Structure 1
Amino acid sequence: MQVASARKCFYLKGLNTFLVRQIGSKIRTNYLVVTVVCGLLTITICAVSIGASTALAMNKMSQSATPYDLNVLSNVSVDGDSDIAAYLAAHDITISNYAKATEQISVYEADMTYSELFEGQKVKFWPIDEKVPDSKVSVISISDLNRALAMQNKAPITLNDGQYLLNCNYNGTYRYIAAALQSHPEITVGGVTLQRAEDKVLQETYIMTSVGNNDRGTLIVPDSVTASLEKDVNALLVQYEPNADSNEILQKMIPIGLDSTHGYRYAEKNMMYETFYGLDALVSFLCCYIGLVFLLICAALLALKQLTETTDNVYRYGLLQKLGAGRRQIDHTLFVQTVVFFAIPLVVAGVYSAFLIGKAMAVVEEFMNIHIATNIGLTIVLFLLVYGSYFLATYLSCKRIVTEQRELEV
């Protein structure tokens, strides 16, 4: 305000003298309110951004992570290279009675670890992935992958002999897999040297897991290459008949999942939805709810103060009119006052939030193992729409108060 007052070319132009004094008066008399609103807005921006971004990320993940109604995994080292459907039938679960389509595919172990695949990179994993570097790289044959994609009604992928692809849908390792693909124009698997087929990492889900998209990186190779590799997991993929009772299937599958003497485990779409929309969704909802409540409180406080002060000072606008100020000038002055009164706490809160959101995102992503940063922009836009709506309603209300007073005086 002092700088504006010192610039005479600005201060003495139009109604700027009145405008600067009005804004200065608001700052001096309302600094406590503005301080409280700044604090609440900081909490609001962080809570709404993190909560809504997490909800959007979880919703997207729930769709991409559940391409089948059911899949049953068998650990080959425990159960041998078995027929999963036959094992289930022996335990009174005849999958063919419920399924319109089934496929059994296999996942192999490469003769290299992820640390060898990531060689030359400076990697930093989430705590849940600390054992990844020492694990063998997963491998799937192109025919098994295409059979899995056919179950999802997706087009098959073409891969020539002597070529390989990489697949990854897990945010904790995706950037390292993408870098590994660029740094390995050729790779040796099972004694066979393969050339890179594409520069882009695939992001397909060929097996469902209980923790969502969890393919940390899979080599896709010709069928002939897997013949010399050790099989790690068999997976039975199932799509239900339209009238299948998923609850009945789940009840029958519970003993299979609890059998500690065998390595059979299952993931079911409805069960996974409950996981996605359970505790994590509740936390996201509470963040959004608390943030929106604080946002409405802040906007209502600012609107109330602006409306009250406009009502108290309405006679001043009448004096401006009597002194020859035009209607457009008065409306513009009122508009700038309202903009400044709403913008000051938003700008201050935005500066703090820009720092805090980054810290909060890192904590949430590490705790929930999901990537939410891509949704921050959308949630901030939604926040600004709500805040801007209060600003617009406040300005129009103040303008009506001044207009009505002007008409009464005329």
Structure 2
Amino acid sequence: MMNFKLIYKNVRRSIKDYVIYFLTLALGVSLFYAFNSVSSQPALNDLNYSMEVFGDALVLYIGLLTKFIAIIFAFLIIYANQFIMKRRKKEMGVYMTLGMSKWRISSIFVGETFLVGLFALIIGLWLGFLMSQVISILALKMFVGNAVGYKLLLSIEAIKETILSFSIIFIIVALFNTRNIMNIKLIDLLIANRKNQELKVHNKWVTGILFLLAIISIFFGVLLLFKYGLDKDCLTGIVSLLGVGIVLFYYTISGVMILLVKKNKKLYFRELNSFLFRQFGSKMQINFLVMSILCALLTASLVVLGTGFSVTSSMNKQVTSATPFDLTIAQPYDDNIGILERAEQDGIPLKENLNDYAEIMLYNTGLTYGDLFKGQQIELSDLEQEILMSQVTFITETDYNQQLELLGERQIQLEENNYIINASYERFIKYIQYFLNNVGKVSIGDNELIPADKNVFDNIIYLTNSTMANDVGTIVVPDEMGSLMNSDSFLLNGIFSSQEIEGKVYKVMNNKWIEKSLDGSIYYVTKSVIQDTYFGVFGVVAFICSYLGIILMIVTLSILALQQLTETQDNKERYMTLSKIGADKKMINRLLYRQIGFYFISPLILASILSIFTTKVVLEKLEPFFEISIKQNMFVSFGIILLLYAIYFIATYQSAKQVIVDGRLK
């Protein structure tokens, strides 16, 4: 009972020492609960087959990631706990001087850690409950398409998993604390506050050369990243080059900064700047490896978090624009048996269930896309190179107008010997535009056609298994040209009255046509299947990226905050000396503000630069495949990052003031 009262009083008295520790624990608990509770939404348990696969994948990946992150948080909390132990070494020394046993001291500190952890667990679960509602709504929109099935609920399973994970972490921390306390010596506790590091002055020429090498390594690392991208054969070398550059940069930056600042006497001797720069330089020298790791973590966090949030925000717009029809069916031309007729023969109730449809014929003339782009410098992927060998698709004016009517677009009218080109695949449009501007002539039989409009039309002609706007180029010609071309295939696009009817018809098609689909004699896809696949892929990517990005950011900021608080504790006597020689409380607070600000910004500046280049390379890989514009949506993720940065900076600054002030500054 006596121990509990002492523990309670100690926690109340030292509550400001526990701010960063508490903040890290609470945020960790809230994220643990929020992401692990997603699978508890009833609507996510009633997904169709295609979406169920992605839902299961999401639960699996988040479960695995949670275990990995639990290990990271265990080390982080131990690191945070080290600051608290260091902050209170003198207090432990007093306890030992008064005759208290190490076991009892250990039990007091373990009790304090448990009490703060329990409070953080309660607050974290409450924040996690609020956060989980937002995340659940997002998950439903991704995997179900709407949030109609959303229910406000508390996930008991997620609570159990969160409590279990953090209980294990608390046990590890308690064992670590007990071991440390049992091994300490009284003299070390009593003189702990007097130990400080000194600024080592390196040879300025050596410092300059190493700094130059750092810049060169980073420059060539970025250059190779642009040239080879994420090529697995070159990635190790690129990462190694950037890693060496980052380490050398943080190893030498303090020396370069001191040399430059000393040349400006007015700046160096203003207020307490000489103390500020030397302290900052000293800590950068000592912690250059930690700063390098933090820079790498921040870079990864900026790229991963930015990608995750951008994917989420781009999703709905992309799917809506890419799926204007509910159904697309295509089959090769075969004895002039149309799609609707074949469906009727096979017992599929298609025509009677369609509200509107357009069944058209696609043609070819032997002209390939390679012929169309002849004479141009083509830069395409291996998969896109294969398209150059395929034949250009032709449609007659009447059939194209049927498509436009189904889309609700204005119809076209062609003059004799005129044509237009419809294309929506962005990477081919520039080559088509070049053809229209510089060549322009298309031959069908003995007829030579010229463009009616040199602009490329971008209407959706059919649905495919992806949401990419993938019409690489369809030539629309007058109706009389139809008899001069080769019939290639039938195409049907349709609109259903409801999603329920769409699902029923698709189920019948699957039963009747699955074998024909596998052997390539027919192709069919519905809007729901495309959306399910798209939302599933993007949903898993977005959730994992967002979760991992936020965790990496919290880990980085926690380490930055705890390091700065530890160093403030180390230099407490020096701040007292500044007070004694005339520096007032306002000046010291301003000094502390700048010192912490410099320390927080140091890894962020280089990380921001590297993340911009890395993100650009990632975009070049993602954007052609997923057809999204991540660049336009980066502001949201950077806003979240800056908000977390501000929260941790303010908490660190306030805690650091508490460390040095203690009511003793003038």
Tell me, yes or no, whether TM beats 0.5: yes
- Return the alpha-carbon distance in structure 2 between the equivalents of residues 222 and 327 of structure 1: 85
* 2:298 equivalent in structure 1: 41
1:196 positional shift: 2.9
* 1:295 equivalent in structure 2: 553
Alignment of 1:336 with 2:594, yes or no, is yes
* 1:97 equivalent in structure 2: 352
Matches for 1:205-284 after TM superposition, within 5 Å = 205-212=460-467, 213-242=469-498, 244-254=500-510, 255-259=512-516, 263-279=521-537, 281-284=539-542
Instruction: Say whether the 8 Å CA contact 2:312–2:542 is kept in structure 1.
Output: yes
Of 386, 410, 429, which residue of structure 2 is paired with 1:155? 410
- Return the alpha-carbon distance in structure 2 between the equivalents of residues 82 and 118 of structure 1: 34
Instruction: Say whether the 8 Å CA contact 2:309–2:637 is kept in structure 1.
Output: no
Partner amino acid for 1:252?
Answer: V
* 1:393 equivalent in structure 2: 647
Give the secondary structure class of the aligned counterpart of 1:27.
Answer: helix
1:322 positional shift: 6.9
- Return the alpha-carbon distance in structure 2 between the equivalents of residues 315 and 339 of structure 1: 21
Give the secondary structure class of the aligned counterpart of 1:337.
Answer: helix
* 1:134 equivalent in structure 2: 389
1:95 positional shift: 1.8
Matches for 1:300-339 after TM superposition, within 5 Å = 300-310=558-568, 313=571, 332-339=590-597
Alignment of 1:22 with 2:275, yes or no, is no
Instruction: Say whether the 8 Å CA contact 1:106–1:233 is kept in structure 2.
Output: yes
Partner amino acid for 2:322?
Answer: A
* 1:70 equivalent in structure 2: 327
Partner amino acid for 2:495?
Answer: Q
1:73 positional shift: 0.9
- Return the alpha-carbon distance in structure 2 between the equivalents of residues 327 and 282 of structure 1: 51
Alignment of 1:86 with 2:341, yes or no, is yes
Query: Bigger shift: 56-65 or 95-104?
Result: 56-65
Identity %: 26
Partner amino acid for 1:200?
Answer: N
Partner amino acid for 2:347?
Answer: D
- Return the alpha-carbon distance in structure 2 between the equivalents of residues 249 and 311 of structure 1: 71
In structure 2, the CA distance between the partners of 1:88 and 1:299, relative to structure 1 (3 Å rule), is same
Instruction: Say whether the 8 Å CA contact 1:190–1:226 is kept in structure 2.
Output: no
Partner amino acid for 1:7?
Answer: N
In structure 2, the CA distance between the partners of 1:221 and 1:309, relative to structure 1 (3 Å rule), is farther
- Return the alpha-carbon distance in structure 2 between the equivalents of residues 332 and 160 of structure 1: 77
Instruction: Say whether the 8 Å CA contact 1:73–1:266 is kept in structure 2.
Output: yes
Give the secondary structure class of the aligned counterpart of 1:131.
Answer: helix
Instruction: Say whether the 8 Å CA contact 2:442–2:449 is kept in structure 1.
Output: yes
**Larger RCO of the pair (alpha carbons < 8 Å, separation 6+):** 1
Residue ranges of structure 1 left out of the alignment (5+ in a row): none
Instruction: Say whether the 8 Å CA contact 1:88–1:95 is kept in structure 2.
Output: yes
1:266-324 deviation digits (Å, cap 9, x = unpaired): 11111112221334642454234323321221122223333444466567667667766
Instruction: Say whether the 8 Å CA contact 1:68–1:238 is kept in structure 2.
Output: yes
1:350-389 deviation digits (Å, cap 9, x = unpaired): 44444544444445467xx3345x413533x334323322
Instruction: Say whether the 8 Å CA contact 1:68–1:208 is kept in structure 2.
Output: yes
Instruction: Say whether the 8 Å CA contact 1:72–1:267 is kept in structure 2.
Output: yes
In structure 2, the CA distance between the partners of 1:283 and 1:251, relative to structure 1 (3 Å rule), is same
Query: Bigger shift: 248-257 or 278-287?
Result: 278-287
Give the secondary structure class of the aligned counterpart of 2:476.
Answer: strand
Alignment of 1:31 with 2:288, yes or no, is yes
Give the secondary structure class of the aligned counterpart of 1:304.
Answer: helix
1:68 positional shift: 1.0
- Return the alpha-carbon distance in structure 2 between the equivalents of residues 158 and 48 of structure 1: 48
1:16-54 deviation digits (Å, cap 9, x = unpaired): 223212321331333232122122123223333444455
1:240 positional shift: 0.7
Instruction: Say whether the 8 Å CA contact 2:600–2:649 is kept in structure 1.
Output: no
Residue ranges of structure 2 left out of the alignment (5+ in a row): 1-257
Partner amino acid for 1:289?
Answer: Y
1:60-106 deviation digits (Å, cap 9, x = unpaired): 44222211111211211xx2333211221222222233221121122
Matches for 1:364-383 after TM superposition, within 5 Å = 364=622, 369-372=625-628, 374-376=629-631, 378-379=633-634, 381-383=635-637
- Return the alpha-carbon distance in structure 2 between the equivalents of residues 383 and 353 of structure 1: 13
Partner amino acid for 1:341?
Answer: Y
Query: Bigger shift: 345-354 or 16-25?
Result: 345-354
Instruction: Say whether the 8 Å CA contact 1:171–1:370 is kept in structure 2.
Output: no
In structure 2, the CA distance between the partners of 1:345 and 1:82, relative to structure 1 (3 Å rule), is same
- Return the alpha-carbon distance in structure 1 between the equivalents of residues 436 and 591 of structure 2: 59
In structure 2, the CA distance between the partners of 1:117 and 1:54, relative to structure 1 (3 Å rule), is farther
Partner amino acid for 2:491?
Answer: A
1:151-205 deviation digits (Å, cap 9, x = unpaired): 2333334544443322222244333223333323444445433333444322221
Partner amino acid for 1:250?
Answer: Y
TM-score (norm 2): 0.54
Query: Bigger shift: 146-155 or 318-327?
Result: 318-327
Partner amino acid for 2:550?
Answer: L
TM-score (norm 1): 0.84
Which structure's residues are more often helix, by fraction? 2
In structure 2, the CA distance between the partners of 1:178 and 1:332, relative to structure 1 (3 Å rule), is farther
Partner amino acid for 1:91?
Answer: D
In structure 2, the CA distance between the partners of 1:157 and 1:334, relative to structure 1 (3 Å rule), is farther
- Return the alpha-carbon distance in structure 1 between the equivalents of residues 569 and 636 of structure 2: 31
In structure 2, the CA distance between the partners of 1:396 and 1:160, relative to structure 1 (3 Å rule), is farther
Instruction: Say whether the 8 Å CA contact 2:561–2:652 is kept in structure 1.
Output: no
Query: Bigger shift: 354-363 or 382-391?
Result: 354-363
1:118 positional shift: 0.7
What is the number of equivalent residue pairs in this alignment?
404
Give the secondary structure class of the aligned counterpart of 1:112.
Answer: coil
- Return the alpha-carbon distance in structure 2 between the equivalents of residues 182 and 306 of structure 1: 62
In structure 2, the CA distance between the partners of 1:38 and 1:401, relative to structure 1 (3 Å rule), is closer
- Return the alpha-carbon distance in structure 2 between the equivalents of residues 389 and 267 of structure 1: 43
Instruction: Say whether the 8 Å CA contact 2:596–2:653 is kept in structure 1.
Output: no
Instruction: Say whether the 8 Å CA contact 2:367–2:391 is kept in structure 1.
Output: yes
In structure 2, the CA distance between the partners of 1:403 and 1:132, relative to structure 1 (3 Å rule), is closer
